[in-house]
Amino acid sequence: MKTIPFLDIHPDVAAALAAQRPVVALESTIIAHGMPYPNNVATALQVEAEVRAFGAVPATIAIVQGRLKVGLTPVEIEQLGQGGRDVVKVSRRDMAFIVAARQTGATTVASTMLIAAMAGIRVFATGGIGGVHRGAAQSFDISADLIELAQTPVAVVCAGIKSILDLGLTLEYLETHGVPVVGYQTDNLPAFYTRDSGFKVDYRLDSPAAIAAAMQAQWRMGLQGGMVVANPIPDAFAMPRTAIDAAIAQALQEALAQGIRGKESTPFLLARVSEITGGDSLASNIQLVLNNARLAAAIACAYQD
């Protein structure tokens, strides 16, 4: 693998990649911006443990003092968790500036995908992907996650599109850019906290091996971009659709009233939904991330076989 400036790969991750053993990338905005402390640190460490338990090596990704880190130490995870929203949220647009200034930043889905691809990692587990925001016809607020999915060869295992977004427009955008949306053991697109959004997926695949075979076929043909693997939250932790829809509607109204938009909108909305639901959405969020980590590890293992 060619040397990439500013890239530091943890020795455990580097050894696994050299031996062609399965590796799963993990993002860091979920640590700094997705959950409160100390839940964020505990969840991050638990997610890494789940990946290991299912046969793969975890590689949590962030920028630390200007270095692109693929695999964090527990101390680095703790620092991100304690820093919270004071840590810079880094998408593709921001990377060069954070690196040049030797700052520390938490990577979004887009930047995590990009850094994972630099390191040669093909599977990434997260909570939910970004997408087209509600009201985008006026705001033009579309997540960079979708652009990255269209051009970077990484499979993103998630619980669907974050339900605070416009799911229908997000699916249309992904279709236009040739990004397949695969439902794991489901015909229906999950919506983060709920198992069914009312929308269909492009393809249903019922095993990690089938998903790995599709990944291999796509990239061996030289087709650009990644794919979305939509993994429904387990039944036991899913929230009633009416309750979550009401909480999202209230949070969206508050965001509009306070003029919150851009990259600040998602952390605000997730935090407010958690507050409105009395913490139920946070508990669901933790469980869906763990569930995605398990599936991602199984796909990574099948991809390397």
pLDDT of 108 reads 96
pLDDT digits (tens, 9 = 90+) for 57-74: 999 999 999 999 999 999
Say yes or no to pLDDT of 261 above 70.
yes
Q: Per-residue pLDDT averaged across 3-19, rounded?
A: 96
pLDDT of 59 reads 98
Is 62 part of a structural domain of the chain? yes
pLDDT of 34 reads 85
Token pair belonging to 184: 């794991």
pLDDT of 41 reads 97
pLDDT of 15 reads 98
Closest C-alpha among 111, 35, 119 to residue 77: 35
pLDDT digits (tens, 9 = 90+) for 70-119: 999 999 999 999 999 999 999 999 999 999 999 999 999 999 999 999 99
Closest C-alpha among 22, 291, 1 to residue 157: 291
pLDDT band at 1 (very low <50, low <70, confident <90, very high): low
Quick check: helix, strand or coil at residue 32? helix
pLDDT of 279 reads 78
- For helices 74-83 and 39-53, angle between their N-to-C axes, nearest 10 degrees: 150
Q: Scanning the structure block, which residue is given the tokens 């249309």?
A: 172
Q: Give me the chain's average pLDDT, please.
A: 94
pLDDT digits (tens, 9 = 90+) for 194-253: 999 999 999 999 999 999 999 999 999 999 999 999 999 999 999 888 888 898 889 889
**Number of structural domains in the chain:** 1
pLDDT of 241 reads 86
pLDDT band at 156 (very low <50, low <70, confident <90, very high): very high
Known catalytic residue: 27?
yes
State the DSSP code for 245: H
Report the DSSP beta bridge partners of residue 124: 25, 156
Say yes or no to pLDDT of 23 above 70.
yes
| Catalytic residue (one of 69, 89, 162, 263) | 162
| Catalytic residue (one of 27, 48, 76, 78) | 27
CA atoms within 13 A on the CB side of 51: 29
Q: Output the CA torsion 105→109→112→116 (10° steps).
A: 180
Q: Per-residue pLDDT averaged across 115-142, rounded?
A: 91
Say yes or no to pLDDT of 2 above 70.
no
Is 177 part of a structural domain of the chain? yes
Q: Report which secondary-structure segment, H or E, holds 173.
A: helix 167-176
What range defines the domain where residue 253 resides? Answer: 7-304
pLDDT of 266 reads 75
Is 1 part of a structural domain of the chain? no
User: pTM for this structure?
Assistant: 0.92
Is 2 part of a structural domain of the chain? no
CATH number of the domain residue 169 falls in = 3.40.1790.10
The alpha carbon dihedral of 155, 156, 160, 162 has a sign of negative
Is 214 part of a structural domain of the chain? yes
pLDDT digits (tens, 9 = 90+) for 179-191: 999 999 999 999 9
Distance of CA 181 to the CA centre of its chain: 14
Known catalytic residue: 162?
yes
The residues, any chain, with a CB within 8 Å of residue 103's CB and separated by 6 or more, are 63, 65, 66, 88
